[in-house]
């Protein structure tokens, strides 16, 4: 999956993977590998399959069933389309063989045994006839000439091996001294005879001769700059511009372009002088090539030595013995043959230690460097990048893959890491077209999880094979089991994805989207594969049972190989051995049957905990819903004491075996659970009978701070290789049932106290500064983490959100919750304080929380993080649903619902502030946490610009309260920006009043009250424009209607507003200069525009005042003059009033000025007729507009693209260049008064804004190309 963003950029690819439906879940797979050559004909296979079914296997993996090459290795395919002769007999045709194989697989499918097969896509047998017909299917010396030097080296090695005796070497390499002698002769004498450097360097003699001939034929005096270069410069220039680069493709294939070299040579009448210079240049060219060649030789010699040492001296090597034709010094890298009189050499396949699987080593110099560990019986196939590169090969292997997919339920991709990804994609897709639910597993050794992920994602691999026999110690064994098992006991992930834990009343918007997190690569965890040595070889035979048990308890697909259950002492040789399997019955198979069936039964136990105590491995599997589970204890040596906790001890029986005393499974890091364990079975090494072994352990009782516990004492009789398995029936499940019963006993949606959005604000939100102001309490603090951002439930839920997504159970918050239940008490106590402080009548909800939290406190502590999260989240979801219902937003989309919840977060009662100096009325915070209390809480501009918080969310009463509160403090024809609960409001904002009038208009148009609101009466805080204290008897004595308020505002602006702020000086604003306290606003009756402000104050929302020693008192954006959004808001108000007049609602006709009466219609039309002319900046036709071309920003000699076809930010600023700055304020104007603008001009402007100002999180406030732009403004 990928997408293209709005700018046309392609995203990275992402992948969704859907597990195949093959009759069993992928984690239930219990697989057994079998090698067909050791099974006989198909007529005998049934008995092996019956044995597999009998012992709990539900899937069989077959090594390749194709005709084998001359080496007899199953993985060296003579012909991928030919089934092996041994399947049904030589006399049978291929179609009959396919039919017989298909019939057998279908029969097993009906029995519940599914079958997958190896597919070999990388190579073909060296004697394959098909390769003789199509030699270009491999890498040969013609289609891959870079291999010629590797072939020459290969020939040299073979010839040296055959002629060693001529150097006094016997061919018997018995020790490293003899090995060093052989290697020394090869390097110092034999290899030099082959002059392999000739594949890489320039032939100096030939080059000199060719240049001499050129000079003699075109000798002329030249005066070129190139000939004056220094020697080093000439060498560099020739290397970069004058070479035919065919290194390695043939002897003397690296050549110089004569004409380029000719221009470099300085003219001299004596050709010998010129040739001497050329010789110096050629030697300079060759020197680094010789140096690299010498380093390559060192690599070659080291790789040869290492390989010979392994093959002839190493204890774990094949010990090939004396060098002979059959066992050469080193096996050839090439398969040689002759066809139609032509000789071919095709490179063989192999692998590179720590090689990059994303690089095709056949296309590098790896063969020359002898880095490839070769498979001499397999020719590497040459696919190219896409089918058209080698169509015959792609189609041949597609047919092979389709045939296998038609019969088998899945593929095991052999050597997947060496398979080009496009090839594997093509062939897997071909298989999935005929079998949609093809189960694909892979043998993949990339060396990194990141590269594993590339293959898994792009190929749709369902499971990667992981080998249980490989870990080098118990710790690594546990690490891998833990990693493959996925989620730890107590995980958030399994809880939030399980329907059992999903609340019925969860908050979901109309357009809710379910987010799916990434998951770990799924594994097929095999205790042993056919490529591995047996436990007796790799470890000890005593490890057989513990290893099998650990694998069985791992939450993944699991598997084994034929011979493991049969207790083979050594790995069978795939190539050399032909003896058929013998069906044997071992006591170990009884253990295998039990463990395989238990693995399937544990599929719902999706949480795992793995712990190690020295040589003791303990694994717990648990169902997060029922808390039922299983405990494995596998011992290697010693006497160990394991402590398990319990609250209630009881006798129990289970599993058909006499039960032990109830014991508890220990959880992560010593965490205790309250559960009953019943001994299912005990196993002893190589005597895995289902017996009761009292001598394995004892149980003692004790108590600690968590309560009563039981201690399991493992005795010395629990010997290396022994295993204990318990079934766990948890009493916690009953507690969880009680917990959810208390949660759902009462429908909190019906609680009377929750019908108040203010109460919901208290319960869910409240910033720390609001909390401290209201009830003298801080937000919740956690060591090594800090304080929650909110004091209500959202504080905890926001803090733990990422932890839940990442399932980070080791986070300090999770550690804190496991350590105690203090958070639950905190939530109860804060609500009790609010209840008493503000008389909120929250008793019903507090009692409900106490009831639920009391049950939550009884949950075992290692499960607390999960269940505290689940319960608080579920309660919070119900509270969110209640808020949505109170605002009547149930059918709105998620965005509107989120606005509603944001309004709940920002609106509430806070002590010492609000909308009224004498009453506790919920007020809107301008922002949390900095603008939340006292005079900094409620801002006129911020309230009225936030249409989405009240009017879009149906919170009409809150909108009404805020409008009337600000109307009540009208003074000088303005409303304050800082309300300060109407105590000491500050009137330093020019735009707040216009946003207020827009809000009144929107309220009348949207609320049920409609235009009746215009005639609502309120009392004024100030009886005139002078300041008086709120306790003054004259306060709130003058009554006014909303419509009178509107008229007063318009009259004041029309006639002019001029005053100095009350209490002007540093006590009011420490950063403002004296001039900044002067407020002047007037109307230009030539245009109808309202002007205001000066260069020392900032009366619009862009109101950052300089506060450093350099810029103190200098606003960053004065925006004095006629600001575009203010003119648009004025126009919107006039348009609305004109409409009201037509309906005979607005009682005033206009405004009486000193010299004339201006109707609202005249004012409206005056602005309409002048706006475009004065505000638009065109790219041409400047005469039609009021433009100063010198102020339009330029790039070079041209106008900057972000400075034309835009609207001015202001008109007639005190600094005129600022009018022409690109800012986003015109977008407000577009929204409130679209009739002012020409559509085509708006479209041009918006395109420029999108390209220049739009960012990932919002708008830039200035064009970044503007000289005044500062991306980081440090005040």
CB 1089 within 8 A of CB 1190: no
Please give the average per-residue pLDDT across 162-189, as a whole number.
90
Q: How confident is the model at residue 1147 (pLDDT cuts 50, 70, 90)?
A: very high
Which candidate, 440, 420, 415, places its Cα nearest to that of 429?
440
Per-residue pLDDT tens over the stretch 832-875: 999 999 999 999 999 999 999 999 998 888 889 999 999 999 99
**% residues pLDDT > 90 (the chain):** 69
What pLDDT, on the 0 to 100 scale, is given for residue 1031?
95
Tell me how far apart the alpha carbons of residues 461 and 413 are, in angstroms, rounded to a whole number: 9
Which candidate, 821, 817, 840, 822, places its Cα nearest to that of 766?
840
User: Which of 414, 527, 623, 1120 does the annotation list as catalytic?
Assistant: 414
> Is a pLDDT exceeding 50 seen at residue 660?
no
Tell me how far apart the alpha carbons of residues 1098 and 829 are, in angstroms, rounded to a whole number: 45
Angle at 446 between CA 441 and CA 451, to 5 degrees: 90
Per-residue pLDDT tens over the stretch 442-463: 988 887 888 888 888 898 999 9
Assigned token pair, 739: 């917990």
E strands along 667-718, which residues? 675-684, 687-691, 697-704, 707-714
What pLDDT, on the 0 to 100 scale, is given for residue 862?
85
Instruction: Specify burial of residue 28 (Cβ count, 10 A radius: 0-12, 13-18, 19+).
Output: middle
Per-residue pLDDT tens over the stretch 530-577: 999 998 888 888 888 899 999 999 999 999 999 999 999 899 999 999
Assigned token pair, 968: 């009540």
Which candidate, 36, 15, 29, places its Cα nearest to that of 59?
29
Quick one: DSSP state of residue 1254? B
Contacting residues for 918 by C-beta, under 8 A, at least 6 apart: 1030
Full DSSP string of 200-226: TS--HHHHHHHHHHHHHHS------SG
Per-residue pLDDT tens over the stretch 285-299: 999 999 999 999 999
What pLDDT, on the 0 to 100 scale, is given for residue 1006?
97
> Crossing angle of helices 1124-1142/1160-1175, nearest 10°?
150
What pLDDT, on the 0 to 100 scale, is given for residue 663?
30
Q: How confident is the model at residue 646 (pLDDT cuts 50, 70, 90)?
A: very low
> Is a pLDDT exceeding 80 seen at residue 67?
yes
| DSSP element (H, E) containing 82 | strand 77-83
Query: Which is higher by pLDDT, 187 or 615?
Result: 187
Quick one: DSSP state of residue 30? E
Bridge partners of 461? Answer: none
What pLDDT, on the 0 to 100 scale, is given for residue 244?
83
Please give the average per-residue pLDDT across 602-622, as a whole number.
89
Which candidate, 693, 723, 689, 691, places its Cα nearest to that of 588?
689
Tell me how far apart the alpha carbons of residues 620 and 679 are, in angstroms, rounded to a whole number: 14
Q: How many CB atoms lie within 10 A of CB 4?
A: 9
Which candidate, 656, 644, 762, 754, places its Cα nearest to that of 708?
644
CB 123 within 8 A of CB 349: yes
* Beta strand 557-561 pairing with 523-526: parallel
> Is a pLDDT exceeding 70 seen at residue 1158?
yes
Tell me how far apart the alpha carbons of residues 1020 and 967 are, in angstroms, rounded to a whole number: 8
Angle at 229 between CA 225 and CA 230, to 5 degrees: 170
Q: How confident is the model at residue 5 (pLDDT cuts 50, 70, 90)?
A: low
Per-residue pLDDT tens over the stretch 351-382: 998 888 888 999 999 999 999 999 999 999 99
> Is a pLDDT exceeding 50 seen at residue 75?
yes
CB 1191 within 8 A of CB 1216: yes
What is the overall mean pLDDT for the chain? 89
Per-residue pLDDT tens over the stretch 85-125: 999 888 999 999 999 999 999 999 999 999 999 999 999 99
> Crossing angle of helices 42-54/94-110, nearest 10°?
20
Tell me how far apart the alpha carbons of residues 1086 and 1265 are, in angstroms, rounded to a whole number: 34
> Is a pLDDT exceeding 50 seen at residue 337?
yes
What pLDDT, on the 0 to 100 scale, is given for residue 485?
87
Least confident of 205-219, 822-836, 988-1002, 1089-1103: 205-219
Least confident of 47-56, 509-518, 1078-1087: 509-518
Does the active-site annotation cover 414?
Answer: yes
Does the active-site annotation cover 417?
Answer: yes
3-state secondary structure of 444: coil
Please give the average per-residue pLDDT across 222-236, as a whole number.
82
3-state secondary structure of 338: strand
What is the C-alpha end-to-end distance of the chain, expressed in Å?
Answer: 45
> Is a pLDDT exceeding 80 seen at residue 650?
no
Give buried/exposed letters for 689-716 (b at 16+ CB in 10 A, else e): eeeebeebbeeeeeeeeeebbbbbebee
CB 793 within 8 A of CB 780: no
Please give the average per-residue pLDDT across 778-796, as a whole number.
97
User: Which of 55, 417, 599, 672 does the annotation list as catalytic?
Assistant: 417
**% residues pLDDT > 70 (the chain):** 90
Residue/partner pairs of 752-755 with CB below 8 Å, 24 or more apart: 752/841, 752/844, 753/840, 753/841, 753/842, 753/843, 753/844, 753/845, 754/845, 754/879, 754/882, 755/886
Please give the average per-residue pLDDT across 473-495, as a whole number.
85
Query: Which is higher by pLDDT, 262 or 82?
Result: 82
Tell me how far apart the alpha carbons of residues 926 and 940 are, in angstroms, rounded to a whole number: 9
Per-residue pLDDT tens over the stretch 705-734: 655 566 777 777 777 788 888 887 766 677
Please give the average per-residue pLDDT across 262-274, as a whole number.
86
3-state secondary structure of 1137: helix
pTM: 0.76
> Is a pLDDT exceeding 50 seen at residue 508?
no
What pLDDT, on the 0 to 100 scale, is given for residue 333?
97
* Beta strand 410-413 pairing with 114-119: parallel
| DSSP element (H, E) containing 691 | strand 687-691
Tell me how far apart the alpha carbons of residues 632 and 555 are, in angstroms, rounded to a whole number: 13
Least confident of 134-143, 508-517, 735-744: 508-517
Q: How confident is the model at residue 704 (pLDDT cuts 50, 70, 90)?
A: low
* Beta strand 410-413 pairing with 487-488: unpaired
> Is a pLDDT exceeding 90 seen at residue 829?
yes
Tell me how far apart the alpha carbons of residues 250 and 147 are, in angstroms, rounded to a whole number: 9
User: Which of 85, 531, 1025, 1080 does the annotation list as catalytic?
Assistant: 531
Q: How many CB atoms lie within 10 A of CB 175?
A: 10
What pLDDT, on the 0 to 100 scale, is given for residue 11?
62
């Amino acid at each position: 999956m990928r997408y293209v963003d709005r700018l046309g950029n392609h995203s990275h690819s992402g992948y969704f993977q859907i597990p195949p439906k093959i009759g069993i879940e992928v984690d239930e797979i219990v697989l057994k590998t079998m090698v067909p050559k050791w099974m006989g004909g198909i007529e005998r296979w049934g008995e092996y399959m019956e044995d597999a079914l009998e012992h709990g296997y539900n899937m069989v993996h077959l090594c390749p069933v194709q005709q084998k090459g001359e080496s007899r290795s199953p993985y060296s395919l003579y012909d991928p389309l030919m089934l092996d002769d041994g399947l049904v007999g030589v006399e049978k045709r291929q179609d009959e063989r396919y039919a017989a194989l298909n019939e057998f697989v279908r029969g097993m499918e009906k029995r519940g045994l599914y079958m997958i097969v190896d597919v070999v896509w990388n190579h073909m047998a060296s004697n394959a006839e098909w390769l003789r017909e199509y030699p270009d299917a491999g890498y040969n010396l013609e289609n891959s000439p870079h291999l010629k030097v590797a072939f020459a080296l290969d020939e040299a090695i073979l010839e040296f091996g055959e002629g060693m005796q001529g150097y006094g070497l016997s061919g018997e390499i018995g020790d490293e001294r003899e090995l060093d002698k052989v290697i020394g002769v090869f390097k110092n004498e034999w290899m030099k005879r082959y002059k392999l450097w000739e594949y890489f360097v320039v032939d100096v003699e030939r080059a000199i001769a060719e240049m001499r001939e050129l000079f003699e034929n075109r000798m002329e005096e030249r005066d070129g700059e190139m000939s004056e270069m220094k020697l080093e410069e000439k060498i560099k220039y020739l290397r970069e511009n004058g070479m035919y680069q065919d290194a390695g493709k043939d002897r003397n294939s690296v050549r110089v372009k004569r004409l380029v070299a000719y221009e470099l040579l300085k003219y001299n009448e004596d050709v010998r002088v010129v040739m001497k210079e050329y010789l110096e240049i050629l030697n300079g060219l060759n020197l680094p090539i010789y140096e690299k060649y010498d380093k390559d030789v060192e690599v070659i010699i080291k790789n040869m030595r290492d390989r010979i040492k392994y093959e002839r001296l190493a204890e774990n090597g094949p010990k090939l013995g004396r060098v002979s034709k059959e066992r050469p010094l080193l096996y050839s890298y090439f398969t040689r043959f002759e066809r139609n009189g032509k000789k071919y050499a095709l490179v063989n396949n192999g692998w590179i230690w720590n090689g990059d699987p994303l690089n095709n080593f056949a296309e590098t110099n790896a063969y020359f460097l002898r880095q490839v560990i070769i498979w001499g019986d397999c020719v590497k196939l040459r696919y190219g990048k896409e089918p058209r590169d080698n169509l015959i090969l792609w189609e041949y292997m597609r047919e092979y893959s389709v045939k296998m997919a038609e019969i088998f339920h899945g593929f095991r991709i052999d050597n997947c890491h060496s398979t080009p990804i496009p090839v594997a994609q093509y062939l897997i897709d071909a298989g999935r077209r005929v079998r949609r639910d093809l189960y694909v597993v892979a043998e993949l050794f990339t060396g990194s999880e990141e590269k594993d992920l590339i293959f898994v994602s792009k190929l749709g691999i369902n499971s990667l094979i992981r080998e249980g026999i490989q870990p080098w110690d118990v710790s690594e064994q546990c690490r891998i089991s833990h990693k493959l098992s996925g989620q730890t006991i107590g995980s958030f992930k399994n809880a939030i994805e399980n329907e059992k834990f999903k609340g019925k009343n969860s908050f979901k918007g109309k357009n809710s989207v379910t987010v799916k997190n990434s998951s770990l690569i799924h594994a097929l965890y095999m205790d042993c594969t056919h490529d591995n040595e047996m436990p007796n070889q790799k470890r000890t035979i005593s490890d057989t049972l513990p290893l099998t048990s650990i694998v069985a308890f791992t939450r993944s697909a699991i598997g084994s190989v034929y011979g493991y259950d049969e207790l083979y002492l050594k790995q069978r040789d795939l190539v050399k051995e032909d003896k058929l399997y013998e069906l044997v019955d071992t006591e170990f198979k009884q253990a295998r049957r039990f463990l395989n069936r238990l693995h399937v039964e544990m599929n719902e136990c999706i949480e795992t905990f793995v712990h190690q105590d020295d040589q003791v491995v303990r694994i717990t599997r648990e169902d997060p819903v029922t808390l039922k589970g299983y405990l494995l204890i596998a011992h290697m040596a010693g006497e160990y004491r394991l402590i398990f906790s319990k609250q209630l001890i009881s006798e129990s029986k289970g599993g058909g075996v006499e039960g032990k005393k109830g014991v508890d499974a220990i959880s992560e890091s010593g965490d205790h659970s309250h559960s009953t364990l019943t001994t299912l079975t005990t196993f002893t090494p190589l005597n895995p009978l289902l017996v009761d072994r009292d001598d394995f352990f004892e149980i003692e009782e004790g108590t600690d701070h968590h309560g009563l516990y039981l201690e399991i004492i493992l005795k010395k009789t629990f010997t290396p290789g022994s295993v204990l398995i318990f079934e766990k029936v948890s009493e916690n499940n009953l507690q969880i049932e009680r917990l959810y019963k208390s949660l759902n006993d009462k429908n909190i949606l019906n609680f009377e106290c929750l019908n108040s959005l203010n109460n919901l604000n208290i319960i869910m939100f409240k910033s720390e500064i609001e909390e401290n102001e209201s009830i003298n309490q801080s937000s919740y603090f956690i060591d090594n983490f800090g304080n929650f951002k909110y004091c209500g439930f959202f504080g905890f839920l926001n803090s733990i959100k990422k932890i839940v997504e990442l399932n980070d159970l080791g986070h300090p918050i999770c550690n804190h919750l496991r350590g105690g239940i203090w958070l639950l008490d905190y939530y109860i106590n804060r609500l009790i304080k609010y209840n008493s402080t503000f008389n909120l009548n929250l008793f019903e909800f507090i009692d409900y929380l106490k009831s639920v939290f009391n049950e939550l406190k009884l949950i075992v502590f290692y499960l607390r993080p999960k269940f505290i999260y689940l319960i608080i989240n579920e309660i919070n979801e119900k509270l969110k649903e209640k808020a949505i219902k109170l605002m009547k937003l149930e059918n709105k989309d998620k965005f509107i619902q989120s606005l509603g919840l944001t309004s709940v977060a920002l609106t509430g009662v806070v002590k010492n502030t609000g909308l009224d100096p004498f009453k506790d009325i919920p007020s809107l915070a301008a922002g949390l946490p900095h603008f939340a209390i006292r005079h900094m809480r409620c801002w006129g501009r911020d309230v009225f610009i936030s249409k989405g918080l009240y009017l879009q969310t149906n919170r009409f009463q809150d909108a009404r309260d805020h409008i009337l509160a600000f109307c009540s403090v009208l003074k000088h024809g303005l409303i304050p920006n800082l309300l300060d609960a109407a105590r000491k409001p500050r009137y330093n904002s020019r735009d707040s009043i216009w946003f207020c009038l827009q809000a009144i208009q929107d309220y009348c148009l949207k609320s049920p009250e409609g235009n009746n609101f215009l005639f609502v009466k309120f009392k004024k805080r100030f009886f005139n424009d002078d300041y008086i204290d709120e306790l003054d008897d004259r306060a709130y004595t003058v009554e006014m209607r909303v419509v009178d308020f509107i008229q007063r505002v318009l009259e004041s602006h029309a006639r002019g507003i001029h005053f100095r702020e009350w209490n002007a000086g540093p006590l009011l604003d420490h950063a403002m200069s004296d001039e900044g306290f002067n407020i002047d606003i007037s109307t230009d009756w030539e245009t109808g525009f309202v002007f205001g402000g000066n260069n020392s104050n900032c009366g619009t929302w862009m109101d950052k005042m300089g506060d450093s020693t350099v810029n103190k008192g200098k606003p960053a954006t004065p925006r004095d003059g006629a600001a575009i959004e203010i003119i648009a808001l004025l126009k919107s108000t006039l348009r609305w009033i004109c409409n009201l007049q037509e309906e005979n609602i607005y009682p005033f006709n206009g405004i009486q000025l000193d010299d004339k009466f201006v109707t609202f219609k005249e004012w409206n039309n005056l602005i309409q007729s002048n706006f475009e002319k004065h505000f638009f900046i065109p790219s041409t036709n400047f005469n039609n507009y009021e433009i100063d071309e010198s102020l339009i920003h330029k790039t070079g000699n041209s106008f900057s693209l972000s400075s034309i076809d835009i609207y001015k930010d202001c008109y007639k600023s005190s600094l005129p260049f600022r009018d022409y700055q690109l800012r986003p304020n015109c977008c407000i104007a577009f929204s409130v008064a679209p009739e002012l603008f020409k559509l085509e001009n708006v479209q041009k402007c918006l395109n420029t804004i999108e390209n220049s100002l739009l960012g990932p999180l919002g708008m830039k406030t200035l064009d970044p190309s503007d000289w005044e732009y500062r991306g980081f403004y440090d005040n």
